[in-house]
Chain A
Amino acid sequence: MIVTRGLTKRYGKTVAVDDLSFTVTPGVVTGFLGPNGSGKSTTMRMILGLDVADAGTAFVNGSSYADLSWPLRDVGALLDAKAFHPGRTARSHLRWLAQTNDISLTRVDHVLDLVGLTAVADKRAGKFSLGMGQRLGIASALLGDPGVLLFDEPVNGLDPEGIRWVRHLLRDLAAEGRTVLVSSHLINEMAMTAQRLVVIGRGTLIAETSVDDFVARHQSEAVRIVTPTPQRFVAVLSRAGARPAVEADGAIVASGLSSADIGELAADQELTVHELTPLRASLEDVFMELTSASVEYRANTNDPVAAAGALPTR
């Protein structure tokens, strides 16, 4: 369980994380979503006590990170792809990490095997590809068999097979009852991996919800209509309260009415319809719209708290 309350971090005049409160529960993968520079990494570093918060608190399993007796047995984290000395072998890196928390050295071999690095365990990590470095980072996070896991952009640099592997790993870890927080700037990746979402933009909370709820709530109800009489159709739609627009190919895209309503309307007004297609905005569109809205709104105000409140939150 991870709980943050009013977490705030400033760098000079820039507010990187702004009064951020959210809860990450065990048993599901929680996606930590936001555009690059939205404060995801800073938040994760504050949870781990690496960066000191200017205000607010972060608790892991009910205590602040610095108060954990055996931090690596409670929390595993992957922060940078290459948070290891290039001159040290993968095995040596894991060995010293294990020693810091009295973790048995057989775990070192076990996690090396788990991430598929056994064959290169005694090679210097500086020679590793980004993907191999990422795997070593994941091995480090899993070393203490922790109940809470934080992964910052874990699929960076991985090949498609590796991405699928990470996706399965995260879900398996959550299914075992662990708390899993995984950051990403790619919503589609999160939609495939996460069950819950914490969405931030410019350091403020935009949404804290389930993936399904997030999609349902923010899905736009647009319908594409192809008709031989577009002008009349547009007039009818407008009168009915929809917001129609004529596309370059002559088709109408209308929002504000469902496809069923539009079908009824067409029958009622005896309009010919060649095509009637409900358009579902992709998750990516939803995400872009939400985060760009936060950016635009923030750019025009000096009150970031109000900005957060004006945005759809759970």
Chain B
Amino acid sequence: MTTIPVTAPRRVTGGAKSGPWRAGLPQTMRAEWTKLVSLRSTRWTLLVTAVGTLLVTWLATRGATHHPAQWYRGFDPTNQSLAGLALGSLAFGVLGVLVISGEYGSGTIRSSLAAMPRRGVLLSAKVAIVGITTLVVGEALSFLSFFEGQAILSGGAAPTATLGQPGVLRAVALSGAFLALFALLGLGLGTVIRHTAGAIAVFAGVTLLAPILLHSLSESISRLAPELIFANSVAAVVPQGNSVSVTLGVVLMLSYCTAVLGLGAVLLHRRDA
């Protein structure tokens, strides 16, 4: 390495190349996809999430198989089989946080912004890639959990559900999509807070502590917590005790994500990288 094989011929100023006239969302999305899949932590997070979710589903449905008939009054077999997704919502939130906080922690954010100085484009690419990836995996997990749960319930005295029954397909499909919203909520928190530990702590607070704390204040307020919207409205066919309507729940969760991501976008523009 004493002589440097420098390539010829050299372009002294960045030259025109065929194709698009400037770097934009498609290039940044491709790069974000490479970033996501080139980290072992992503693969591990997804694997552990899948195994954990299906395990919790197994436990939750097995525990509900052998009961006297009156126990099943108001029983929601769909909701029961989607119990494991609560774990998935946590893991996806952490994944969303890491996608941006990991860049701040390592200094990669400066490389990212040097490559794509338009910060809104960078955040949009992250939203798109995290959203699409977790939507696909989330739907797969939701349907897998449902089928696994129904198979286990059908082995006992419990009533079971099929996708053809009213509201069941809606609950299963929407639950998968909700997992992606938890990931985007995490991404938004990570963008605002920038530190992994802090952002995860806040995310855990929002998902785990908020329902408990709000419940002690007022049951009707605790219904508005993301995790309770998920468990009691979105993933339910039979209306659960403490719940908002599905439509309101979806609108609320979308509002939370938009608000946090919007704040993140504003701060990303304002702050030095």
Contact = CB atoms under 8 A, between A and B. Distances in A.
Interface residues of A, number: 56
Interface in B97-144: 102-103, 106-108, 110-118
A313 to B, nearest CB: 29
Interface residues of B, number: 46
A45, A80, A85, A144 interface centre (most CB from chain B within 10 Å) = A85
A267 to B, nearest CB: 52
Given A77-B114, A100-B27, A165-B1, A85 B102 contact: yes
B20 interface: yes
Nearest to B117: A66
B272 A97 contact: no
Contacts of A92: 34, 38
B13 interface: yes
A71 B28 CA distance: 12
Contacts of A100: 23, 27-28, 30-31, 112, 115-116
A56 B34 CA distance: 37
A178 interface: yes
Interface in B2-49: 2-7, 10-15, 17, 19-23, 27-28, 30-32, 34-35, 38-41
B91 to A, nearest CB: 17
B273 interface: yes
B115 A80 contact: no
B117 A71 contact: yes
Contacts of A116: 1
A83 B106 contact: yes
A164 B273 CA distance: 31
B32, B41, B108 interface centre (most CB from chain A within 10 Å) = B108
B12 A26 contact: yes
Interface string A135-151: 00000100011110000
A69 B272 contact: no
Contact of A99 (B11, B19, B34): B34
B106 A145 contact: no
A5 interface: no
19 contacts: A45-B110, A45-B273, A48-B110, A50-B273, A61-B14, A65-B117, A72-B115, A83-B110, A85-B39, A85-B102, A85-B108, A88-B35, A89-B38, A92-B34, A97-B31, A145-B11, A164-B2, A165-B2, A176-B6
Interface of A: 26, 45, 48-52, 61, 65-66, 68-75, 77, 79-80, 82-89, 92, 95-97, 99-102, 110, 113-114, 116, 140, 144-147, 161, 164-165, 168-169, 172-173, 176-178
Given A69-B23, A88-B35, A161-B1, 10 more contacts: A26-B12, A48-B113, A50-B273, A71-B116, A77-B114, A80-B107, A85-B102, A88-B39, A100-B30, A173-B6
**Those 4 A-B pairs whose CB atoms lie nearest each other, nearest first:** A74-B14, A92-B38, A69-B22, A73-B14
